[in-house]
């Protein structure tokens, strides 16, 4: 039951005050013992609860997925390792798993699609895993995504050859490891918000993404903001949030 239905039943006398209070609480958050699902999040913050798979057991994830499907929600699980995915036996047909980005999507209700695309751009081939997490997240929330991959700054002509695609997007997610210079260059070429995602691609002084993170934070281009290393989900989520304004 939604909150509105509960309140109506309470007014009609179908529910007494104790039953109504219990129902209201359950409609907002659901306590699974290990996890408190926030069913009210979409109303409050504009986007529903998403399951972060890392650090949870397959059993815990399975419980949460079941509860959310039961509640009628769409389900997005990020950072879901292959072996945990295999252990999830309660998935509906239609659930799709994307191995490289470790992302699971079960759509029950499609979302209305904004008219403008989101661009997801990578510096290299190895950044695609993180980029796909961003792209799939943005698509989960109903957006059209333009993928522009392997256009790093060491071969500028590759990037300049896609300038038109870059400029058509309403918001850009730019994913890069190593020195992370791509968002600075893209930021100087477009007039739209750029969400920079450092990746842990690289070795040595790349320090698992720290070099790229620092480079993006200190970018000489304006209009660039940064999310955590490898946080494709966060970038896709924010891109949706901006695209829907």
Count, residues near its own copies per rule CB under 8 A: 93
Stretch that binds its own copies, among 14-22, 90-98, 103-111, 211-219 (CB under 8 A): 211-219
Give, as ranges, the residues between 59 and 118 that touch its own copies (CB under 8 A): 60, 79
Contact criterion met (CB below 8 Å) for 232 and 101: yes
| 95 vs 221, beta carbon nearer its own copies | 221
Distance CA 178, CA 53 (A): 26
Give, as ranges, the residues between 125 and 144 that touch its own copies (CB under 8 A): 125-126, 128
Q: Does 45 bind its own copies (CB under 8 A)?
A: yes
Q: Does 40 bind its own copies (CB under 8 A)?
A: yes
Q: How far is the CB of 141 from its own copies (least distance, A)?
A: 11
Q: Does 3 bind its own copies (CB under 8 A)?
A: no
- x-or-dash string of contact with its own copies, 9-28, rule CB under 8 A: ----------------x--x
Any bridge partners for residue 30, and if so which?
37
Distance CA 86, CA 84 (A): 5
Distance CA 106, CA 93 (A): 8
Q: How far is the CB of 93 from its own copies (least distance, A)?
A: 27
Q: Give the residue ranges of DSSP H helices in 170-231.
A: 182-187, 210-217
Distance CA 34, CA 243 (A): 34
Q: Does 56 bind its own copies (CB under 8 A)?
A: yes
Residue of 104, 105, 227, 232 that binds its own copies (CB under 8 A) = 227
Give, as ranges, the residues between 191 and 210 that touch its own copies (CB under 8 A): 191-193, 195, 198, 200-210
Residue of 9, 10, 26, 149 that binds its own copies (CB under 8 A) = 149
Q: How far is the CB of 106 from its own copies (least distance, A)?
A: 19
Q: Does 180 bind its own copies (CB under 8 A)?
A: yes
Residue 78 CB-density burial (10 A; 0-12 exposed, 13-18 middle, 19+ buried): buried
Q: Does 6 bind its own copies (CB under 8 A)?
A: no
Write out the DSSP string of 131-162.
HHHHHHHHHHTT--EEEE-S--GGGHHHHHTT
Helices 232-243 and 128-140: angle between axes, nearest 10 degrees: 40
């Amino acid at each position: 039951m939604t909150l509105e239905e509960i309140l109506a039943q309470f007014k009609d006398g179908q529910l007494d005050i104790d039953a109504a209070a219990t129902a209201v609480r359950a409609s907002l958050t659901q306590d699974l013992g290990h996890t408190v699902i926030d069913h009210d999040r979409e109303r409050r913050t504009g986007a529903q609860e998403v399951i972060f798979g890392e650090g949870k057991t397959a059993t815990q994830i399975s419980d949460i997925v079941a509860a959310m499907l039961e509640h009628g929600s769409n389900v997005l699980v990020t950072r879901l390792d292959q072996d945990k995915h295999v252990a999830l036996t309660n998935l509906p047909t239609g659930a799709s798993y994307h191995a490289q980005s470790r992302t699971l999507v079960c759509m029950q209700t499609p979302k209305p699609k904004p008219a403008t695309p989101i661009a997801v751009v990578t510096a290299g081939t190895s950044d695609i895993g993180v980029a796909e997490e961003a792209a799939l997240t943005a698509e989960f929330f109903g957006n059209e995504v333009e993928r522009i991959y392997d256009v790093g700054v060491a071969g500028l002509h590759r990037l300049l050859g896609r300038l038109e695609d870059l400029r058509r997007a309403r918001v850009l997610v730019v994913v890069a490891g190593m020195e992370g210079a791509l968002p600075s260059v893209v930021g100087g070429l477009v007039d739209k918000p750029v969400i920079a995602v450092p990746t842990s691609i690289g070795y040595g002084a790349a320090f698992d993404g720290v070099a790229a993170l620092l480079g993006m934070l200190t970018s000489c281009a304006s209009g660039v903001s940064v999310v955590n290393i490898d946080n494709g989900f966060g970038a896709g989520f924010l891109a949706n949030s901006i695209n829907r304004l």
